[in-house]
Amino acid sequence: EAQVTQNPRYLITVTGKKLTVTCSQNMNHEYMSWYRQDPGLGLRQIYYSMNVEVTDKGDVPEGYKVSRKEKRNFPLILESPSPNQTSLYFCASRQGGSYNEQFFGPGTRLTVL
């Protein structure tokens, strides 16, 4: 089944404790992205990647890191999480081309205490 998977789905952590949210897609897509979704603010892009070893900042990259060492994986790293990073996070992927559908993972609900 073609899909984007994220782990963990739910995470409660404390300020300053480094964490990684994994994202993997099995569709051989070139593009991958991370978004956060907050009430009243909608979906905001954190980082995106156009291919292996090619990443760029989105609208809200502060406090996050990413890497794209393999085409299928695009982990999101929070080196020192803070309470303002409490949010619902979505990973997404798509093939190149203007109208190719973007597929989203199921989301990771992160709470930073």
Partner 1 sequence: RKEVEQDPGPFNVPEGATVAFNCTYSNSASQSFFWYRQDCRKEPKLLMSVYSSGNEDGRFTAQLNRASQYISLLIRDSKLSDSATYLCAVRLGRGSTLGRLYFGRGTQLTVWP
Give me the residues that bind partner 1 (CB under 8 A), please.
31, 33, 35, 40-43, 45, 48-50, 56, 58, 88, 90, 92, 98-99, 101-102, 104-107, 109
Q: Which is nearer to partner 1, 17 or 109 (CB)?
A: 109
Instruction: Please give the distance of CA 14 from its chain centroid, rounded to a whole number.
Output: 20
Q: Which is nearer to partner 1, 56 or 79 (CB)?
A: 56
Q: Which residues pair with 37 in a beta bridge?
A: 43, 88
Pairing verdict, β 103-104 and 76-78:
unpaired
CB of 50 to partner 1, least distance (A): 5
Q: How far is CA 64 from CA 1, 29, 38, 67, in A?
A: 30, 22, 16, 11
CB of 66 to partner 1, least distance (A): 13
